[in-house]
Amino acid sequence: MNKVGVSGSLLLVGAGRMGGALLKGWLASKSGSVTVVEPKPSAELRALAKKKTITLVASPSEAGAKKISVCLVALKPQILKHEAFQLAPFAQGSALMISVAAGTHTKLLFEAWGKKARIIRAMPNTPGAIGHGISGLFAAPGVTKADRKNAEALLSALGQTIWVAKEDLIDSVTALSGSGPAYLFLMAEAMTEAGIAEGLPRDQAEKLARATVAGAGALLARDPSPASALREAVTSPHGTTEAALKVLMAKNGLTPLMKRAIRAARKRAKELR
């Protein structure tokens, strides 16, 4: 049993941005035996393999299906559609299959891996690389209680986990939290540019914006109060914050804009099927 609670060996297929974030989370939690399939490994991956921290292979056929207990697939959906069949030996060898590919429905995965495959779809996000992520999970028919516990243990190395009851809701998770970090990074960018417009040097504006976004996020994580209550606590009547919020909370302000943005992301997730 490894440190994240999953028995046997883990196989990570794809070590790009999301796969790399997962791998960092596993290694930080000392997850045990990890094999990584990556035909174009980064210098960092090659270094980890040289130190024998991981086993690095170029293709799934080199991994050895019989020894794998969990296969986590972190390929882009466009690639997975064409490469999924190569992973059938792991599913047929009784490995739990976890896919983090956005918009890739289990219907396609069952066709590639067999009707008896045990499949969980997951959508983590990149803050998992530092243990502050959150993952939405959906269990397809045939998944056992033990499989659910294994998936939770594996993804909890990255942060929090939640289960959704319907597969379509994974698209909503993708749009909200999977893509969500980019929204906050954009907010920091926008705040930086606004600070510069008000006379601050770029380095100071960027430092202030980054620290403000990071600090507010940390406070939100620690304080159980609703976000609205935390916002109100910062807002003095007739003060500077209230003046800014009148702009951000207007009918055409931040809330309707964010709804449109997340709806667009969810629509795109459906189009990837």
Structure confidence by residue, pLDDT tens digits, 56-105? 999 998 987 678 899 999 998 889 988 899 999 999 999 999 999 888 99
In order of their start, the domains of the chain are 9-165 (3.40.50.720), 180-271 (1.10.3730.10)
Q: What is the reported pLDDT for 2?
A: 43
| Torsion-angle region of 154 (φ positive above 0: left; ψ -120 to 50: alpha; else: beta) | alpha
CA angle 52, 133, 169 (to 5 degrees): 120
Does the pLDDT value for residue 257 go beyond 90?
A: yes
Q: What is the reported pLDDT for 1?
A: 36
Q: What is the reported pLDDT for 154?
A: 87
Does the pLDDT value for residue 5 go beyond 60?
A: no
Which ranges constitute the DSSP H helices of the chain? 17-28, 43-50, 77-83, 88-92, 106-113, 145-155, 169-173, 180-197, 202-222, 227-234, 240-248, 254-271
The DSSP secondary structure of 124-169, one letter per residue, reads --GGGGGT-EEEEEEEPTT--HHHHHHHHHHHTTSEEEEE-SSTTH
Q: What is the pTM of this model?
A: 0.87
52 vs 204 pLDDT, higher one: 204
Sheet holding 9-13, edge to edge: 55-57, 34-37, 9-13, 68-73, 96-99, 119-123, 133-139, 159-163
Does the pLDDT value for residue 8 go beyond 90?
A: no
Residue 171 in tokens = 């698209």
Mean pLDDT score, 100-124: 94
The tens digit of pLDDT for each residue in 119-175 reads 999 999 989 888 899 999 999 999 999 999 999 988 988 899 999 999 999 999 999
The tens digit of pLDDT for each residue in 199-238 reads 999 999 999 999 999 999 999 999 999 999 999 999 999 9
Mean pLDDT score, 241-269: 96
